Amino acid sequence: MKILAVIPAYNEEECLEGTVSELTSVCPSIGYLVVNDGSKDGTGDICDRLGYNHVDLPVNCGLASGFKCGCKYAYRNGYDAVVQFDSDGQHRPEYIPVMADAMEKKGADIVIASRGLAGGGAVGARGIGAKLITTLIKAGTKQTITDPTSGMRMYNRSMIEAYAKSFDLAPEPDSIALLMRNGAKVIEIPAEMRERQGGTSYLRFFSSISYMARTCISLLLFLWFRKGGR
């Protein structure tokens, strides 16, 4: 499989170099694209200085736009799969070949690296929110996703096209559930993840609660009122 790692990056000067270095060392045959999402720190300078394959967005557009930018690149350049890969060092590249193998052998459209299957997962408010999201997804799709908020997901060619051409799909649990309802096969593989290796997460206590609340509301709207999406 021809695989592209899409690495959205917003103000990740502390982590980006280590993330890309580890990715290219562990998975030298996998392509990558850093999407510099309007960073205000030295992220763009690092990409230029080290010659990374990257695109610079003029303003901060958010994760969804950054990921869709990567999907457009993958679709136009004939990639078979895209893996969403965080720039902050949380995701471990050794799981990418495992995800690709599972995708091929099981004919999956989306493969999720699940902390839940590896005995981990979100805790506190995020953990409660994740369990609620899992419940809502199961109610709407009759399938269980153990780690719905995992940011490490692999998408096959048909999903790349869907994200590249849609205007309202995002790499979030509500879109995953919608795609499942419309026939996408989603599987999980067990994976351990690290804490971010530097910088500051945008998901702090109150923003985590807000994110979970928005996601749950969106799930209700997507699953019970919307029928399209693929």
Helix (H, G, I), strand (E, B) or coil at 187: strand
Each domain of the chain, given as residue ranges in start order, spans: 3-225
**Neighbour tally for 165: CB within 10 Å:** 12
What is the CB-side half-sphere exposure of residue 84 using CA atoms within 13 A? 25
At 3-33, the pLDDT tens digits run 999 999 999 999 999 999 999 999 999 999 9
8-state DSSP, 116? T
Q: Is the pTM of this model over 0.85?
A: yes
Q: What is the DSSP-derived secondary structure letter of residue 198?
A: S
Strand-by-strand arrangement of the 3-9 sheet: 54-57, 31-37, 3-9, 81-84, 153-156, 110-114, 186-190
Q: Which fold, 3-225? A: Spore Coat Polysaccharide Biosynthesis Protein SpsA; Chain A (3.90.550)
Q: Are 140 and 183 in contact (CB under 8 A)?
A: no
* Residue position matching structure tokens 């928005």: 214
Q: Are 36 and 57 in contact (CB under 8 A)?
A: yes
pLDDT in tens, 118-177: 987 666 666 788 889 999 899 888 999 999 999 999 999 999 999 999 988 999 999 999
Per-residue model confidence as pLDDT tens digits over 73-106: 999 999 999 999 999 999 999 999 999 999 999 9
Give the pLDDT band of residue 214 (cuts 50, 70, 90): confident
Residue 48: pLDDT over 70: yes
